[in-house]
Structure formats: C-alpha cells, structure tokens
Chain A
Amino acid sequence: MSTSLVKTAVLTCGACDAPLPPSVVNAPSPGRCAQCGAEAEAAVFPAFFREMAPGTSGEKTLFDDESSCFYHPTKKAVVPCDICGRFLCALCDVDMHGQHMCPSCIDAGKSKGKMEQLEVERTRWDVIALTLAILTWIPPMLYLIMFTAPATLFIVIRYWNTSLSPVRPNRWRFVVAFFIAVCQLGLIGLLATMFVMEVGAYE
C-alpha cells in the first residue's frame, strides 16, 4: 500500500526494492533489474522533477508547480492521507498510531455522509440488497425467506437515495432486489393460502 516519502526519491524494482537501472526509465522496451534480474520498465513524467523537501511546520510552497496541501493551497504537501490519499501539509497531518490522517477523515469517523467529493468510503447497500435477495434462493437458506424478503425490501426503501457507486450511479441492483423480494413475498402468500385452503378442505 502506501510507503514512505523516502521511497519516492528513487524508482525501485517492484520485485526486490533495489533501485532500477537508468536504462529502463522511459525506454522503448523493458530492461532488467540489476539486482534480481526481473523484467522492469518505468515511465517518468515532468512532475517527478518538482523539487520537494519535507517541511515540519507547514512550509510555504516556493514554486507554482509544487504539490500543495489540499486544505492549504499555499503550503507544501509532505504526506498523503492514508485513508483518502489527499496531500497534507505538516499542519494538517495527524499521526494516529503510525497512520497519517487528514482532519476530514477524522471527522468522517464521527459523522458520516457529507459532500461527494469528500467521501472516502461507502457501504454499497444496493449490492447488499441484491446479494441478500439472491442468496436466499440457495436451498438451505430458503426457510429464511420470510425474514430476508422483508429485510431486502427494507434495505431497498431505506437506502434508495444513498450509497450508489460514484462511477455508475444507477439503481438497477435495487430494482432487481425489489422485484425478487416481492416475488418471494408472493410465494410466501401463495403457500400460506394453499395451506389455509387445505386445512379448510380437511375440516
């Protein structure tokens, strides 16, 4: 996952962590790591050469093209938030048990669901609803249908307006889950009616 600042100064081999030989950087064809011999290639962009030293008290950015803190556009970024990946200056970086966090991620821990762009985590209730609706067709779970069908309906109605994918914000999973749950309820109703009629006929 995220590694520390020092690693970014040098391009390293993904297999053994040794520095990559310069011949593989922006080369037309892949080369080999000098230490482990793994086939390696690297592409470097102009942003790599923006000079940047770690500051301690929220250093001011000196050049326009330097990476700046997400919350303080004039301060130099020193570390990304481990949760949301936003760049933070030394002032905004909160070190919690070795994990770097930004103020908004700490805040999000207290109260959830705010602006979309600030959002770093979502529970996909539409996926949960559909999984629940489909799982109950598996034979051993079938007896649970009278609990799971209402639960599916509840989730669909309660979370209709939230928790959609940010990349494909549509509700087809909710719709399918809703129809499956309605069918399940219909099935329960049918069985109950048949049972009642049978008892009636027996009497």
Chain B
Amino acid sequence: MSKAPVVYKRKLPGKAKRGFGLLNATGQRLWLGPDHLLVINTLYFKERYKRFYFTDIQALTITRTTAGMILNVVFAILASLFGIWGAAAYFTLGWDPVAAIFLGIIAVCILLGLALNSLFGPTCRCFMYTPVHCEELFCLGRLWTARRVARDLRAIAEAAQSGTPDPTDMDKLANRQSSVQRQTPGLAAATTASRAAQELRHDDGKIHSSLFYLLLVDAVMSVSLLLWPDFLPAPVSMGFVALLIFVTVAAVIRQKRSDLPRNVRNVTWTIFAYLCLLVFFMYIFTVLSEFGRTLGEDEPPALEGLQTILVKVINSISLVFDLLLSFIGLRYLADFRRRSAAYEEPAAAPPEE
C-alpha cells in the first residue's frame, strides 16, 4: 500500500448497463492496473471501485443469452404493427396521409433500433470467479466483446499465475462438475446451495400468475375494442391498465430476494416496460383528443384520423404483447412449480459428499 497513485494503462471494452432507464441504470467499466483489475460501477455521479488482483482470478464464464433476440422480436412486432396501421391508413381506410406519415416515422425509428441491436451482436452474461465469490461483469453484455475481453484477461491471469492448470486438477474439476450434474437432475445443486446461503424466500408465484391471467383479460378487452371501438368507455380501460401496473409493481417487489427463477423475473420486468410504453401512447392519445376538443368544430380531419388510428395501434400492441407475455410467463411459472415440487424431497435428505 504505497501512496503513489496507481496508473491504469488500459481500458477494456464493454459498455452494457444494468438497471432501468434513468431510474437506476448502473454503468460499469473495466480498467487494467499493474497487478489488478479495477471494476468501476457508476450510478449518476457516484463511482464505486472494486479491485481484483490477477492472482485471485480463478475462472471466467460466458453464457449466451436470448435477451438480444427477444428485444429484436419486440422491435419487429412494434415496427410491423405501426407499419401495417400506417399503410392501412394511407391505402385502404381513407384516413389522412398525416396519420400515415406519423405512424411511418415511428415504424422507421423502431426499425433503426432493431438494426442497431442486431449490429451489436448476440447478448451474454459474463461471470468472474474469485476464491470467495463470483462477480458478474455486466458491462460485458455482448458476446463478441465478452469473448475478446475474456481472451485478454485469460492471458493476463495465466501470466500472473504462471501457466495453465495441471491436467490432473482439470480432471478433478471435470469429475466434480459432472458429479454435481448427475446428483441433481433438473435444478442444479449449486442453485439450491446458494439459495440456502442467500436465504431466499420461497415464492409460490401467486401474484405472478394473477398478473399473467390479468394480461389475458386485457387481451380479450383489446380484441373487443378493436372490433367495437365503443365497447368500453375510455376510463374503464385506463383503470384496468392502472390495475395492471399496480399488480406488476407488486410482483416486482415480491420477486426481490425470492427463489423465482430468472426467466419469470425477466418476464415481469418486460411487462413493466411494456406497460410504460402503453401508458406513453395513451398519454399521447389523451393529449391529441384534448387538443381536438379545444378546437371543437375546427378540428382538422387529419387529427381525427390520427386519434382513430392511434386507438387501433394501442389496442393491437396490447393484444400482441398481452398474449405473448402471459403465455410465456405462465409457461415459465409452470416449469418452476413443477421443478420446485419435484425438488422438495431430495432437499430434505441430509447432504452427502
């Protein structure tokens, strides 16, 4: 521990963030020091530093995830919905071209997002193992970057630890990995062990399943509204969205420190993002209709057309996402319930080495 400042010569690539938008998005950067890796986590104007010495780095794992693909599917659905309604407005339904152009611009922006997301490549999660814990390097969220950084870190760690592991050690590791795998069909032993160590609460997923069923109800409402626009007064459907948001927030709070699997938790967060999007479009719709009302008789037909078509867009968005998210959520939840039901008995038996 000298008082001379440590010089960090190289910054490793990787820019992925964690957290939700402006709310709590945490940035992370990796820097190479003379003998350690500096991990900087940034939240607003606060920086937190963690130092990992090269001699303590035990392992790196990279697992490809489907997050990027799911995001592309979401972008594709949104873009095609806006595109279809824009084209319908222009060619068949006889609405004003202003509405079609408005929707077209939104569709192009979404397509741009899709192109960028594809350009960054597949997503992944990267973990670094030390003798006492396992740190997620969440800035390495894209596979190609993660592989490049892992290759560099591997060379550095092997240089610091003089070489590669013994073949006998590697055999031992292989035995351990496969024996743990055999012992616990289905859910991993490591998961249960770490669940016990972190004192995670068991959650039966009641709030989550009610959220997914509410989404199905919302899908039915959206179909009705698409077919008969006056089926429900606007305050009722807005009230229902408010109820959905309330249940989603409850589910997000509930799943914290619970043993619900990651895929169920991710679906909940996706529902939250989708509801934010829905509220945004409903807000635009309300502003437009209020504006139209102040104009009264002078309301231009373009504005009226835009309102009519925005209702259709909102309802088709909610129909597609309601169905998609509730089916995926219910499937993951059923998987989890089946696994945890099958897991009760072996967990009660005393652990054996």
A residues with a Cβ closer than 8 A to B are 1-22, 25-26, 30, 33-35, 38-50, 52, 66-67, 77-80, 83-87, 98, 115-125, 127-128, 131, 165-169
Query: What separation, in Å, do the CA atoms of A117 and B46 have in the docked complex?
Result: 17
A-B residue pairs in contact (CB < 8 Å), sample of 7: A3-B198, A10-B180, A19-B190, A41-B147, A44-B170, A47-B57, A127-B45
Question: Which residues of A sit under 8 angstroms from B296, Cβ to Cβ?
Answer: none
- Find out whether the CB atom of B40 lies under 8 angstroms from the CB atom of A26: no
The residue among A40, A47, A77, A125 with the most chain B CB atoms within 10 A of its own CB is A47
CB within 8 A of B133: which of A10, A48, A79, A116? A79
Stretch at the interface among B77-85, B160-168, B234-242, B306-314: B160-168
Question: Which residues of A sit under 8 angstroms from B166, Cβ to Cβ?
Answer: 46, 49
Of residues 96 through 136 on chain B, the ones whose CB sits less than 8 Å from some CB of chain A are 124-127, 129-136
Question: Which residues of B sit under 8 angstroms from A165, Cβ to Cβ?
Answer: 47
- Find out whether the CB atom of A19 lies under 8 angstroms from the CB atom of B181: yes
Query: What separation, in Å, do the CA atoms of A168 and B55 have in the docked complex?
Result: 25
Interface SS of chain A:
loop
The tally of CB-CB contacts under 8 A between chains A and B is: 244
Other A-B contacts than A44-B58, A47-B56, A85-B52, 15 sampled, CB-CB below 8 A, are A2-B135, A7-B194, A15-B64, A17-B188, A19-B180, A19-B190, A21-B177, A26-B165, A42-B59, A44-B165, A45-B164, A47-B55, A116-B5, A122-B46, A123-B47
- Find out whether the CB atom of B199 lies under 8 angstroms from the CB atom of A98: yes
- Find out whether the CB atom of A49 lies under 8 angstroms from the CB atom of B165: yes
Query: What separation, in Å, do the CA atoms of A131 and B177 have in the docked complex?
Result: 50
Question: Which residues of A sit under 8 angstroms from B261, Cβ to Cβ?
Answer: 16
> In the complex, how many residues of chain B place their beta carbon closer than 8 angstroms to a beta carbon of chain A?
78
Q: Which residue of A lies closest to B63 (CB)?
A: A14
CB within 8 A of B188: which of A3, A18, A77, A84? A18
- Find out whether the CB atom of B165 lies under 8 angstroms from the CB atom of A167: no
- Find out whether the CB atom of B58 lies under 8 angstroms from the CB atom of A47: yes
Of residues 154 through 200 on chain B, the ones whose CB sits less than 8 Å from some CB of chain A are 154, 157-158, 161-166, 169-170, 172-178, 180-181, 186-191, 193-194, 197-199
**In the assembled complex, how far is the CB of residue A203 from the closest CB belonging to chain B, in whole angstroms?**
44
**In the assembled complex, how far is the CB of residue A60 from the closest CB belonging to chain B, in whole angstroms?**
16
Question: Which residues of B sit under 8 angstroms from A11, Cβ to Cβ?
Answer: 59, 61, 129, 173, 177
- Find out whether the CB atom of B197 lies under 8 angstroms from the CB atom of A14: no
